[in-house]
Structures are given as structure tokens and as C-alpha cells.
A and B are shown apart, each in its own frame.
Chain A
């Protein structure tokens, strides 16, 4: 129809992802409306994510909001290939290879080279007892770097970029404050310039002023790395600051998605209206 949106391929495309914990049964398999929120009353299976489809264009930031238990983190683990889905298809960069069906070796390559992940809990993303520099180097080595000098330079650049004093590169992250740990996690996640960055509640639990610095850093990465980002948060203010488009999740299902300003100012679903009206 027209060419205003440029490259027509999606940087990230997820089709009908479902993640079920438990065996499933004819009752919940055939009629999802029989679920009690996300749990089957007959067989006890939990449908953590149900039929979720997402698309993001290159350089776009997609926000995902929802309360705890809505399936946001399961979705993120699936996007990082840490979670074997029950069904669904996942493509990057307009490719035709369903990433949920690849070999373990290929999966490792994708995770190390094409994806970056930052967790709410830095213990999940960092080796707390290794030096911060080694944490970044580990990611570089995983993607095939062998040149020590090149890696040192890259780490130095990233630490400066994330405003972590390079003098502390030999210290383990456990010595650092929460905000600084998140900055080391971000350095590690973007070390290989991945086209897709996944951020799961990265500022939750930080003091407001520390949160502001981490958010500013994410905005800079967004602007200067041209990376496609998926940002999960329960905080609409974070999503408003970062995301071009936003999806609202509840009980494992996306109930509404669209332009972030439209979700905030013209929410259509009863749950989104409740969420927006709960904002301070």
C-alpha cells in the first residue's frame, strides 16, 4: 500500500506462543474459557502464556505491562530461549527459521549473539563472585571473541558508557550497589551488539534516583545502539518513558496492544482502564 514504514520485515515476530505447566487435559485444551484465571480446575495445569503474538520493527521499543502472575516473565524467558514453549513460532530479523525448533547449539549461538537479557534480579544475569570485567568477557567469549586485547578494549568502552568506574572492573558485582549491578548487567547484555535486547523489570526495587539513572542509560542505549527492545514492567510510567508501543497482559493473554499514548489515553479493555486509572 505504501512505503512510509521503511523495512517491511519485523525485527522480532512471535506467533501464538503458549507455555503450559502441567499435562493439560481435554477440558482446558479445548475450551480455554473453562480456566480459572490461568489454571485448569480439572487437571491443575497452569497456562502461563496463552496464544501470545507480538511484532516489533527494527529499533522499536515494545512495552509489556501487567501485574505479577500475568505471564510477563515466562514470556521473556521464552523470548530468550530459556523456556521450551508448548507451542508457538518465533522469528528474528524477518528470518524463516522458527527459533523454538533449533538445535541446542544453535540456540546457544542465538542467545549469545542475537539476544541480550537484563533481569530484575541481578543474580540471574551476573556471576556475582566473578569480576565485573570477567562477566562482560564471558559474554564476548561466548560469541566467539578470542582476542584478549580486543575484549579488554570493548569492556573498557562499555564500562565507561555505563558510567561504571573502570578502576572497579576487577571487583565482583556483589560489591556493587543495586543500580550499579544493573548497569553491569546492561553492559553484559549489549556486549555483542545484539539486535534485540530484553529488559525484565530492570528498575523495579531500585530507589527513585537510582531508577532514574538506569532509565536514562536505557534511553541512551535505545538511541545510540539502534537496538530493538522488549521492556517488561508493572509500572506504566516506565513504559510511557521508553516504549513506542505497549501490550497489556493478564492471566497469560494479551488483552490489548497498540501505540503507548493510545493505551494510556484511550484504553478500551476494562482491565487496561483499571490499570490506567490506578496510576498515581
Chain B
């Protein structure tokens, strides 16, 4: 469903003397529907940048990101225009960022219902879906109508994951989705992600902890080695 070919990203820092920084180069990999490919390698090797190049937050310097969309054939995300990327983000591609950017003054429930309502789901049905998900990851009911600005790291992270999966994306990008969760909640999140995977979604993820990696990954691409390695082991060092 996702085929990355010879992808590279370089930054030119004009305000620091035009220094060129190569984030990563020559990455080629494939992710099929219903499977999760874990991206591994030491910190700073460009794992998060790779995910951002797929999502469109970074424009890749060279290479292609071929995505078989559900509605419009195969699209090269590296060359797609802004409107194609916006439409795909709304309808098909979810991204769990490493750091949760809290929208001010929007409650936890609203964060989940808004993307559904934007896609035409009736408000009461969107509310039910949101509450079912909040319950499922064990977010305290007292927080459901609160603004997440004051949530703990783990509470924010669970909400961040739900925000990305609430629309049931076909392609899900996960940047350390379980990093600040304790054991019990981690299990619930892993269960949820497994269910989404088994429903056919393709997933590309970066994992800090071995539990999540071994429970979720079907294959592993090591950015240091520049190739696929056995799925076991290799959590971010």
C-alpha cells in the first residue's frame, strides 16, 4: 500500500550560514495493508523525519512515496500538491506525532468528534464513537469534557493516538505512540492498534519500547543498516 523509493531529505539552514544537513538518504521500503513496518535505528538517524516526509510536513529532497489511495489511485506523496495532501489527511492518512500539540480550548471529546463531523458523521454518532474510544484506552471519565492542556503526559498521548485513529485511516504513521504510557495503558493501546491493523490498515512506526515493537511489528527497517532486518529486537536505543 506504501512504497518508498530512494527517499532523501536534506535541510538547508539559510540563517546559519547555509549549512546543509542530511537528515536521511536512500531509504527504500514497502508496507502492505494489514501490516506494520517498524523503523529502527539510533536517535538522530532520521526516523521521525522519514514519517514527516510521508505525511507531508517535510517535502522530501528526492525519491518517491507511492501510496495506493482508497479513492484516487496511486499518488506520489513526495510530489502531491497541498490539496491532495490535505484531502488524504482528512480521509485516509493518520499521524501520531511524538509531541502532542494541544489545540487550545477544545475538549478531549471534541478533539475526537470534530474530524468525524467534518466527514459528515452525525454529531450523536460521532459522540458515541469518541466516548467508546476514550473508555477503551482508560481515560478517566472526569477528563472527557476537559481541555487537555493540563493532562498528564500519558493522558495526552492516549488522546493523541485516538485523534489519529478515530477516522479509521488506511495508512497510519506512529512516532513513539507508547513512549510515556505505563504498562496497563500500553496494553490497551497496543490492542487497539492491533485491531486497526487487522482491519487492513498499513502502518509505519517508530517505537521506543520493546513491548510495543514485538507486539505490533511484522517487519523492521533499520535506518543505520539501510535495509530490512528480522522483526525481533531493535527498539530505539
- CA A60 – CA B85 in complex, angstroms? 13
Within 8 A of A (CB), among B60-113: 69, 71-73, 75, 82-88, 91, 103-105
**Chain A residues with CB below 8 A from B85, complex form:** 259
Q: Could you mark each residue 262-280 of chain A with 1 if its beta carbon is under 8 Å from any beta carbon of chain B, else 0? A: 1001101110011001000
- CA A6 – CA B72 in complex, angstroms? 10
**Chain B residues with CB below 8 A from A277, complex form:** 15
**Chain A residues with CB below 8 A from B15, complex form:** 270, 273-274, 277
**Chain B residues with CB below 8 A from A266, complex form:** 11, 52, 57-59
28 pairs from A and B in contact (CB 8 Å cutoff): A1-B72, A1-B73, A2-B84, A3-B71, A4-B75, A4-B84, A4-B87, A4-B91, A5-B83, A57-B83, A60-B83, A212-B105, A245-B86, A258-B59, A259-B56, A259-B82, A261-B56, A261-B57, A262-B57, A262-B59, A265-B57, A266-B52, A266-B57, A266-B59, A269-B14, A273-B14, A273-B15, A274-B15
**Chain A residues with CB below 8 A from B104, complex form:** 212, 241
- CA A268 – CA B18 in complex, angstroms? 11
**Chain B residues with CB below 8 A from A2, complex form:** 69, 71-73, 75, 84
Q: Is A97 part of the contact surface with B, judged by Cβ < 8 Å?
A: no
Query: Which of the residues A6, A244, A265, A273 comes within 8 Å of B58, measured between beta carbons?
Result: A265
Q: Is B142 part of the contact surface with A, judged by Cβ < 8 Å?
A: no
Q: Is B13 part of the contact surface with A, judged by Cβ < 8 Å?
A: yes
Q: Is B229 part of the contact surface with A, judged by Cβ < 8 Å?
A: no
Q: Is B191 part of the contact surface with A, judged by Cβ < 8 Å?
A: no
Q: Could you mark each residue 177-192 of chain A with 1 if its beta carbon is under 8 Å from any beta carbon of chain B, else 0? A: 0000000000000000
- CA A262 – CA B75 in complex, angstroms? 19
CB-based contact A4/B57 at 8 Å:
no
For A215, the closest partner residue in chain B by CB is B104
**Chain A residues with CB below 8 A from B71, complex form:** 2-4
CB distance from B64 to the nearest CB of A (A): 15
The 10 closest A-B pairs by CB, nearest first: A2-B72, A270-B14, A4-B72, A5-B83, A266-B58, A4-B87, A5-B87, A261-B57, A273-B15, A2-B73
- CA A3 – CA B14 in complex, angstroms? 37
Q: Is A16 part of the contact surface with B, judged by Cβ < 8 Å?
A: no
For A259, the closest partner residue in chain B by CB is B82
For A240, the closest partner residue in chain B by CB is B101
- Output the residue of A4, A5, A268, A270 with the most chain B CB within 10 A: A4
- Output the residue of B13, B87, B114 with the most chain A CB within 10 A: B87
State the A residues within 8 Å of B (CB). 1-6, 57, 60, 212, 216, 223, 241, 244-245, 258-259, 261-262, 265-266, 268-270, 273-274, 277
- CA A273 – CA B58 in complex, angstroms? 14
**Chain B residues with CB below 8 A from A259, complex form:** 56-57, 82, 85-86
CB distance from A21 to the nearest CB of B (A): 31
CB distance from B56 to the nearest CB of A (A): 6
Q: Is B132 part of the contact surface with A, judged by Cβ < 8 Å?
A: no
CB-based contact B69/A4 at 8 Å:
yes
CB-based contact B84/A5 at 8 Å:
yes
**Chain A residues with CB below 8 A from B87, complex form:** 4-6
- CA A263 – CA B75 in complex, angstroms? 22
**Chain B residues with CB below 8 A from A244, complex form:** 82, 86
**Chain A residues with CB below 8 A from B84, complex form:** 2, 4-5
